């Protein structure tokens, strides 16, 4: 069943706006499992993209085994997009023909899918702050973590 109404505003966006609603949301749970492993069935171009992207996602906290399929699809779309764009650069398609239009449409579709998947993992500058894995602790939480509580509370 689909959800009604506008999409939920990400917690990080609310924090940047200074909204009180950001404080009412629970902290996101870290993704289960360790880092994803590269699927054997990826072709060479997709594997190169996998090797490039996984360290970046791990640095951002967005690389987990549970995301393996989505990341693999992104890498496949990236490889497909590269192949189609390379074929358009050659002289095999005459500009204005049906064949070239079909290949351009295929490249655009692969690029759109790749962009949607990239946004889900925060790989675009506009989406990066919306997909942070763990939020910053509030100033009050930092204060209470660093303060010796024994001076305020008796055992």
Secondary structure in 3-state letters for 27-75: CCCCCCCCCCCCCCCCCHHHHHHHHHHHHHHHHHCCCCHHHHHHHHHHH
**pLDDT tens per residue, range 77-130:** 999 989 888 887 876 767 777 787 788 888 888 888 888 887 777 666 556 555
Nearest Cα residue to 122 out of 79, 32, 59: 59
Q: Which positions ≥6 away from 14 have C-beta within 8 Å?
A: 21, 22, 25
Give 7's DSSP letter. Answer: P
Domain ranges of the chain: 32-134
Q: How many residues does the chain have?
A: 155
Mean pLDDT of 19-38: 79
The CB density around residue 8, as the number of other CB atoms within 10 Å, is: 10
What's the rounded Cα separation, in Å, for the pair 102 and 104? 5
Where do we find the tokens 């996101």?
Answer: 28
**pLDDT tens per residue, range 61-70:** 778 888 888 8
| The model's pTM | 0.62
**pLDDT tens per residue, range 37-68:** 999 999 999 999 999 999 988 887 778 888 88
CA 5 to chain centre: 23
Q: Burial-class residue 10 by CB neighbours within 10 Å (0-12, 13-18, 19+).
A: middle
């Amino acid at each position: 069943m689909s959800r009604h109404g506008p999409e939920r505003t990400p917690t990080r966006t609310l924090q940047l706006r200074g909204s009180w609603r950001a404080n009412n949301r629970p902290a996101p749970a870290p993704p289960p499992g360790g880092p994803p492993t590269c699927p054997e069935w990826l072709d060479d171009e997709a594997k190169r993209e996998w090797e490039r992207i996984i360290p970046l996602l791990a640095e951002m906290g967005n690389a987990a085994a549970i995301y393996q399929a989505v990341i693999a699809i992104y890498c496949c779309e990236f490889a497909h997009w590269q192949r189609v764009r390379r074929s358009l650069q050659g002289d095999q398609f005459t500009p204005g023909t049906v064949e070239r239009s079909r290949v351009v449409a295929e490249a655009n579709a692969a690029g759109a899918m790749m962009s949607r998947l990239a946004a889900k993992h925060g790989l675009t500058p506009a989406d990066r702050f919306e997909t942070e894995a763990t939020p910053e602790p509030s100033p009050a939480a930092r204060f209470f973590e660093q303060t010796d509580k024994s001076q305020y509370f008796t055992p």
